[in-house]
Amino acid sequence: MIFNLVVFVLAILSFVVQEFIPPFMGEYTYYARLNLPAVFFFAASVAVPFPSMLVLALLTGFIWDARYLPMPAGGSDLIPADMELGVSMAEAAGMSAGDLQLGYSVIIFGLMGVLMQGVRPLFKRGRLELPVIMVGFATAAWLLVQYLLITLLRGDFYLYFPTPIWLKLGTGTMYAMLVSPLVFLVLHILARVTQYEIKYEGLRYSFNGR
């Protein structure tokens, strides 16, 4: 119980930290950012039980939408509105204000969380290779679904991916995979301190070695 509560608090704090994370490498990566709340959710989904994961998806998705929706003209996680690159990415991707509605992130985070639950046995054994890769995959899928949903809601769904989209998608995925081991380490330490045990299909594992 204590472990889950602290995870919820850390999820909220990740949104505060997100406000101070600048885009790395500027226009070279089309102002791609580390999406810390999403990365934290994907990593935490491997540690918490299924009901807690659903609550965490609701919390993360609701705060994300409340903070970033409705979008400013041309703005989204993939397409920031403050870019001036001649032909803006908003025009390249065809995004407009208010395309996505409050609550869509809850569904996407929930689906990605179900996927991340499948690697819980590896996490509790301390094997983080696949969990880290899965965090990268979930981040890429989340960004891609966001882009596709916007084009679909505008009524002109097509598989058109301009170079800025690929760069931001790849860079965001790379950032997620670089940061996720640190998040997993924090979760492992927290689990030891709170004597939290992961239970998965009848298997038991104690982080404190008992």
3-state class (DSSP) for residue 79: coil
The answer to whether residues 36 and 18 touch, using CB atoms and an 8 Å cutoff, is yes
Mean pLDDT is lowest, of 11-15, 19-23, 58-62, 87-91, for 87-91
Highest mean pLDDT among 14-18, 30-34, 162-166: 14-18
- For 62, counting Cβ atoms within 10 Å of its Cβ (0-12 exposed, 13-18 middle, 19+ buried), the class is middle
To the question of pTM greater than 0.85 for the whole model, the response is no
**Cβ contacts of residue 134 below 8 Å, gap of 6+?**
42, 46, 115, 116, 119
Instruction: Report the mean per-residue pLDDT for the chain.
Output: 76
Of 99 and 72, more confident = 99
- Tens digit of pLDDT for each residue in 156-171? 555 666 777 777 888 8
What's the gap between Cα 185 and its chain centre?
A: 17
Instruction: Report the distance separating Cα 32 and Cα 22, nearest Å.
Output: 9
- Tens digit of pLDDT for each residue in 110-141? 999 999 988 887 777 777 788 899 999 999 99
Closest CA to 138 of 35, 11, 26: 35
